[in-house]
Structure 1
Amino acid sequence: MAIIHKANLSPSKLELIAGYLPKQPWFIQDGTPELIGAYRFDDPAGEVGIETHVVAAGDRIYQVPLSYRGYELAGAEEWLIGTMDHSVLGKRYVYDACADPIYVKALATAILTGQEEAQLIVDGEPEPRPSSVTVKGSGRLDGGVPALSASAPVSGSGVTIIDAGELRLKVARVVDVAADSSAGSAAAPELHGELTLSGQWAGLENPVELAAVVRD
């Protein structure tokens, strides 16, 4: 589960994303980013926040995974999106999560084991809050996830590739909302690996493919 604090953020997450997107090779500058929703994975150690945002800009949908840390991630200066002041947790370092090993492990685990998004527990609220984006991995692995050694992510043509030792992860940056994740998509064949992460949100008729994992 993910613990959510009722807090003031400066700058806001969307402000950070709006400054980050125009610098990316897969972003087409044809509209102001608007948040559709988000989903979270859990860090078992409780140290790193892992949240993926689904954003609309123009007629395209983008996926922006972020990780939130209370300290700098060594060797990841290139992937630092910015910092924000959190009224409860203090200064937070915000990274492109594709370069964060905690996110890489969480994403691989969700895909391989068939997990869903983390349950959202909000301070002061008696019941879990529903996620605005729901996701589910297609795998059914009962054992442990292979040891991962994530390398720097490489982005291009709407996809980010993360070589992680025994596995290769592929994260959709530009989401093909016209394709049913269960049917495959000729428009984005590079995403179709052995196992996938599918997602859905309000107004979307069928789940779409958000990420895939391929064993090398």
Structure 2
Amino acid sequence: MAIIYKAVLDPDKPTLIGAWLDGRSWAGDGPTEILGSYRFDDPEGEVGIENFLVRRGERLLHVPLTYRGAPLSGAEEHLVGTMDHSVLGERWVYDGTGDETAVACFRRALEGAQEQAVLEIRDGDRELGTREQTVLISRETDGRTSGEGHVDIPHVLDRATEGPTRLVARWDGGRAVVATLG
């Protein structure tokens, strides 16, 4: 269960994502529109893993992020930025495609061993309920898979992504393959 705190973020997620995408040649141009997101639970309970579907101009993007309470050693090239979280304090935000904790979650999901997280809303220590998912993830396979393949997590979803096992994201008005194992 992913815990979502009622909190103030500085910068907020759309601002952080937009600024990071501005520096990526593959991200296209135009305003950044967040279409939805989904989360995975870190089995160790230390790393937040949130994956955004974003429209930027004509380009459809997948932006996996990890949130950490301390810098990730050796991952400077994957640092998206830092944010202040009014409940959890300073958070280091990384491109999840370069964070082994996120990649391991994608692998488990592709192998059928992990589902997307339920979103639990909290105000401090008080549970307020759950939040409805804006993106639903499902696993598709053509039967040729083994757990030994390479996990591919593309940022750009405009191109067809193929593999014997796929994670498919569905949201209001769209569908895209967000990861493959093969």
Structure 1: 5+ residue stretches without partners: 140-144, 147-165, 177-186
Q: Residue 168 of structure 2 corresponds to which residue in structure 1? A: 198
Kept after mapping to 2: 8 A contact 1:113/1:138? no
Matches within 5 A, 1:36-185: 36-113=35-112, 115-123=114-122, 124-138=126-140, 166-176=148-158
Secondary structure in structure 2 of the residue aligned to 1:52: strand
> What's the counterpart of residue 209 of structure 1?
177
1:173 deviates by 1.6
**TM-score in terms of structure 1 length:** 0.76
CA distance in 2, matches of 1:97, 1:208: 18
Distance (Å, rounded) in 2 between the aligned partners of 1:45 and 1:116: 15
Contact 2:105 2:114 (C-alpha < 8 Å) held by counterparts: no
TM-superposed deviation, 1:56: 1.0
Specify the SS of the correspondent of 1:78: helix
Counterparts of 2:137 and 2:88 in 1: how far apart (Å)? 27
In 2: Cα distance, 1:24 partner to 1:126 partner: 37
Q: Secondary structure at the match of 1:71?
A: coil
CA contact (8 A) 2:84 2:90 kept: yes
Alpha-carbon distance, 1:168 to partner: 1.1
Q: Aligned in 2, Cα 1:100/1:136: closer, same or farther, shift over 3 Å?
A: same
TM-score, normalising length from structure 2?
0.89
Asked if 1 retains the 8 angstrom alpha-carbon contact of 2:27 and 2:56, the reply is no
Point out the more displaced range, 105-114 or 125-134. Answer: 125-134
RMSD: 2.1
Which whole-Å CA distance do the structure 1 matches of 2:136 and 2:179 have between them?
13
Gap regions ≥5 residues in structure 2? none
* 1:88 to partner: Cα distance: 0.2
Residues of 2 paired with 1:26 and 1:59: CA distance? 12
In structure 2, the partner of 1:163 is: none
How much has 1:26 moved relative to structure 2?
Answer: 1.4
How many residues are matched?
A: 177
Q: Which has the higher contact order (CA 8 A, sep 6+)?
A: 2
Asked whether the equivalents of residues 39 and 132 of structure 1 are also in contact (C-alpha less than 8 Å), the reply is: yes
Q: Specify the code of the residue in structure 1 equivalent to 2:40.
A: F
Q: Distance in 1 between matches of 2:15 and 2:129?
A: 29
- 1:11 aligns with 11
